[in-house]
Amino acid sequence: MSDGQRRNPRFEEPLSFTPVPGGPEDYASTADDPVRYVEVVDDKGLLGYLWFQDAADGADFIPCKSRGVEAMQAGVEWGRKLRRHKENGLAPSRAVADLATAAHTAAGGHVAPGDPSEAESESALREQAAGK
């Protein structure tokens, strides 16, 4: 099928992604073994879960599906906060403990009071968030 126009061959080349060394450091965003987590809330209720696992050097925010865009925007904010803690060399558990005691800000909600809970795995926690 030709429409009579020549196609630029660059559009036919496969794209590749090459990470550049020296970019921002992040905690791992997956973990297979049990993870600990805290709830992140705002004035409307549960936004998502902030999980961590030192063995995998992992920590991430999992948004609750029911909160839609609000939860996704909160995830961006929590990602920034976690990145700053990773760049400062903190273990995931220490980073989340620090974030739990930090002053509340309007952006992204805050960690709900209480001790961390445990989930079977990061993927199990994602399934839990999808149902909320």
pTM listed for this prediction: 0.81
pLDDT, tens digit, for every residue of 82-120?
999 999 999 999 999 999 998 777 778 999 999 999 999
8 A C-beta contact, residue 44 and residue 72: no
Q: Which residues contact 32 (CB under 8 A, 6 or more apart)?
A: 56, 121, 122
pLDDT, tens digit, for every residue of 24-67?
789 999 998 999 999 999 999 999 999 999 999 999 999 999 99
Q: What is the pLDDT of residue 65?
A: 94
Which among 56, 64, 59, 45 is positioned nearest to 94, based on CA atoms? 59
